[in-house]
């Protein structure tokens, strides 16, 4: 049976309450100061792959949108990440974080050393947006509903617990606190407007669950590789390869 708008919104928010990656133990470690420097670095390296793929995901979405007004609305997401003449963009901000934790930003930008499981999860998200309905693609983006809380916790936790944390190195998160709310307000309204049958509501909810899986599995992979008992898979970043400012070859 089709849910009312508010019932359906509550259902989407409940998915976040049960499955968003703020619940993952790795985030407790990270925000609580329990990560060592290499674990922070591994997180920065792997999360970069997600960052660098998000504009590709948003372009894949736009490539399927016939309506110029919807494309225009969506384009600001790419601008937020890739940057504009007046905004360095989230990807450059993430590379400043990489430098602050002692990594060569060129090495991080090369995406060498990223865990295969990170690639699989992130690439699955890009492919999902390329192949599923527009409704499912927008619904998958609604994990941003839950992002402001984790970003605020992260800023507070990192500032308190790590020497590298300052206004410059954390500028990515501070900017996301400003950017994400406008995106998600649009995306949530669009999903609530367009999921007008029970079937579409189920599809949108499943898409949001899929996206929480994409985020969660990245932290599982990170933990398995870099948290004791750690087993780093072949080819992934090795802390003892040299910690500071690894050079991309």
Our finding on whether 123 is near its own copies (CB under 8 A) is: no
In whole angstroms, what is the distance from residue 199 CA to residue 204 CA?
9
Residue 62 or 203 with smaller CB distance to its own copies: 62
Report in angstroms the alpha-carbon separations of 240 from 162, 177, 193, 236, 244.
21, 34, 52, 12, 10
Please tell me the count of residues contacting its own copies according to CB under 8 A: 27
Q: How many other C-beta atoms lie within 10 A of the C-beta of residue 104? A: 17
Residue 83 or 148 with smaller CB distance to its own copies: 83
- 21, 24, 47, 57: residue in contact with its own copies (rule CB under 8 A): 57
Site for its own copies, residues 129 to 188, rule: CB under 8 A:
130
Among 10-18, 19-27, 62-70, 140-148, the segment contacting its own copies (CB under 8 A): 62-70
In whole angstroms, what is the distance from residue 118 CA to residue 124 CA?
10
- 23, 37, 65, 203: residue in contact with its own copies (rule CB under 8 A): 65
Among 20-28, 59-67, 96-104, 167-175, the segment contacting its own copies (CB under 8 A): 59-67
- Closest CA relative to residue 178, chosen from 76, 64, 247: 76
Mark 27-65 as b/e (b = at least 16 C-beta within 10 Å): bebbbeeebeebbbbbbbbbbbbbbbbbbbbbbbbbeee
- 42, 78, 114, 121: residue in contact with its own copies (rule CB under 8 A): 78
Using the 8-state DSSP alphabet, how is residue 242 labeled? -
Using the 8-state DSSP alphabet, how is residue 246 labeled? P
- 23, 37, 62, 134: residue in contact with its own copies (rule CB under 8 A): 62
Among 15-23, 55-63, 149-157, 178-186, the segment contacting its own copies (CB under 8 A): 55-63
Q: To the nearest whole angstrom, how small is the minimum distance from the Cβ of residue 180 to its own copies?
A: 19
Our finding on whether 108 is near its own copies (CB under 8 A) is: no
Residue 118 or 223 with smaller CB distance to its own copies: 118
Q: To the nearest whole angstrom, how small is the minimum distance from the Cβ of residue 174 to its own copies?
A: 20
Q: 3-class SS at 103?
A: coil
Quick one: CA torsion of 131, 134, 139, 142, rounded to 10 degrees?
100
Which residues of this protein are in contact with its own copies, per CB under 8 A? 52, 55-57, 59-66, 68, 71-72, 75, 78-79, 81-83, 89, 91-92, 111, 126, 130
């Amino acid at each position: 049976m089709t849910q009312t708008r508010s019932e359906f919104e509550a259902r989407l928010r409940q998915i976040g309450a049960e499955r968003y990656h703020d619940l993952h133990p790795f985030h407790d470690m990270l925000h609580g100061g329990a990560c060592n420097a290499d674990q922070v670095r591994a997180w920065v390296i792997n999360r970069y792959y997600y960052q660098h793929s998000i504009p590709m995901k948003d372009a894949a979405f736009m490539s399927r949108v016939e309506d110029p007004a919807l494309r225009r609305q969506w384009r600001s997401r790419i601008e937020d990440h890739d940057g504009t003449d007046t905004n360095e963009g989230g990807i450059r901000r993430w590379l400043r974080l990489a430098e602050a934790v002692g990594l060569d930003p060129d090495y991080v930008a090369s995406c060498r050393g990223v865990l295969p499981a990170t690639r699989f999860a992130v690439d699955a998200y890009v492919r999902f947006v390329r192949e599923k309905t527009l409704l499912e693609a927008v619904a998958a983006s609604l994990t941003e509903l839950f992002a402001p809380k984790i970003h605020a916790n992260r800023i507070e936790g990192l500032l308190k617990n790590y020497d590298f944390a300052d206004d410059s190195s954390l500028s990515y998160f501070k900017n996301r606190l400003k950017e994400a709310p406008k995106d998600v307000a649009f995306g949530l309204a669009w999903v609530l407007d367009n999921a007008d049958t029970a079937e579409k509501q189920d599809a949108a909810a499943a898409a949001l669950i899929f996206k929480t899986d994409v985020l969660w599995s990245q932290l599982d992979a990170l933990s398995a590789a870099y948290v004791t008992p750690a087993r780093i898979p072949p080819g992934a970043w090795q802390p003892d390869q040299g910690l500071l400012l690894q050079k991309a070859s």
